[in-house]
Amino acid sequence: MANASYTPISATGTYYYLPDWMQSPFNLSYALELAAAATATYTVSYTLDDVNLANDQYGAAAWTPIWLPDPTNGNATSVSAGGYYSFSIRGLRVIVSALTGTARLAVIQGMSSR
């Protein structure tokens, strides 16, 4: 069974999804879906870095993941759009800079082969 996630978006901000990056073979599809009559401006980016290393064992900032623009939606987009990854990523984020109405981030990740 595939692992699906839906994150409701009703305000500007940054929304994250942390996939199972050890999945083999890795595949992940996402879409930012705007509700009827909704408008938004957003960008999508991904990282290959471990986002859990953001703090060292004492809670001090030790690491800042490098976020790369998504090949499909890395520039400001204002319509429902999606993309996919067939290579392992450690994190996906959507930065919503303007929003009227509501949207949702839908992510589906395939099964691990065993």
The amino acid occupying position 8 is: P
The number of domains in the chain is 1
What's the CA gap between 40 and 69, in Å, rounded? 18
pLDDT tens per residue across span 19-65: 999 988 899 999 999 999 999 999 999 999 888 776 666 666 667 88
What's the CA gap between 52 and 44, in Å, rounded? 20
What's the CA gap between 30 and 109, in Å, rounded? 9
Q: Output the pTM of the full model.
A: 0.84
- Answer for the pair 9, 104: CB distance below 8 angstroms, yes or no: yes
Q: Name the residue range of residue 65's domain.
A: 3-108
Residue showing tokens 């595949």? 27
Compute CA 111 distance to the chain's CA centroid, rounded to the nearest angstrom: 18
CATH of the domain at 41: 2.60.120
Assess if residue 46 is contained within a domain: yes
Assess if residue 12 is contained within a domain: yes
pLDDT tens per residue across span 74-96: 888 888 999 999 999 999 999 99
Among 64, 63, 85, residue whose Cα is nearest residue 74: 85
Assess if residue 114 is contained within a domain: no
Assess if residue 92 is contained within a domain: yes
